[in-house]
Amino acid sequence: MIEKREFYINGQWAAPAASNDFEVVNPSTEEPCAVISLGSEADTNAAVAAAKAALPGWMNTPVEERIALVEKLVDVYEARAEDLAQAMSLEMGAPIDMARTSQAGAGSWHLRNFITAAKEFPFDGPLNDRSPNDRIIHEAVGVCALITPWNWPMNQVTLKVGAAAVAGCTMVLKPSEQSPLNAMIFAELMDEAGFPAGVFNLVNGDGPGVGSQLTTHPDVDMISFTGSTRAGIAITQAAAPTLKKVDLELGGKGANVIFEDADEKAVKRGVLHMMQNTGQSCNAPSRMLVQNSIYDR
């Protein structure tokens, strides 16, 4: 049994403020495979305080230096890709080949794309040609709470962390308690890459606990959440009194639209896309809308 009870706060692994064990279940065997801790309000407060303290220094770090750290992160990520794949296969049931290619591969792919985008993004530029002395300066939003789901763990973690890092935001990650092991490895990677203490923090927990604490915390400036529509509504309502920015990717899977000029393999591709990750994907085309003229065929 794997035991991973600590949280990553302010550049160090820290024991939880109070004992609250949670068993991680391997869905391919339906047996517990690991024990983690679910955080308390004290743990959440400590992580947010670390992120808040690190914000002034990180947001004022030259963007070139922030990009360089993300580039270093890609290197250490790829060196530990097998560890990430094994963790995801264990805790969320992906076949190991898929965990190595699609699941782990998604993370490095997203991080590289953020590096490319950041190098081209005008963080500081003139308002327009007629007003060369008036500037538009893009600054960090602030302390970001990042809440990720179980089904594509590294895909979602890197999408949120990569964006926050290049933008100069500090962050607290709450991964799904159903698949937390890969995120804890990712915290090791952030540490090895050399991100300053407090820039990235990780607290495990469930939605009613750490999730709710983050969405109502007065020192959190933005929530990035991927999950159910029900939870997204609750987060938006909880964040409103403190005027947090809220970015949501919620339930509802995309339709597959097939027109009469589609090739003969369109249906097969749609079905295969639907069933990738056993259908547990937020872009799985679970409906197929077919033009009348080719419907019978």
Q: Which two tokens stand for residue 223?
A: 């929530």
Q: Which domains does the chain have, with CATH numbers?
A: 2-127+135-249 (3.40.605.10), 255-294 (no CATH)
Which of 6, 41, 192, 249 is labelled catalytic? 249
pLDDT mean over 170-192: 98
Partners of 147 in beta bridges: 174, 225
User: Which tokens is 296 given?
Assistant: 């019978």
Write the pLDDT tens digit of every residue in 230-255: 999 999 999 999 999 999 999 777 78
| Rounded Cα gap, residues 232 and 252, in angstroms | 12
Active site residue 144: no
**Rounded-to-integer distance, Cα 104 and Cα 155, Å:** 8
Average pLDDT over residues 105-131: 94
Model-level pTM greater than 0.85? yes
- Residue 133 host element (H or E): strand 131-137
Q: Strand, coil or helix: what is 126?
A: strand
Q: What is the SS3 assignment for 21? A: strand
The answer to whether the beta carbons of residues 35 and 4 sit under 8 Å apart is: yes
pLDDT digits (tens, 9 = 90+) for 59-84: 999 999 999 999 999 999 999 999 99
- For residue 279, name the pLDDT band (cuts at 50, 70, 90): confident
Contact present, 145 and 171 (Cβ < 8 Å): yes
Q: Which two tokens stand for residue 153?
A: 């763990």
Beta strand segments in 150-278, E: 170-174, 200-202, 222-226, 245-249, 255-258
249 is known as an active-site residue: yes
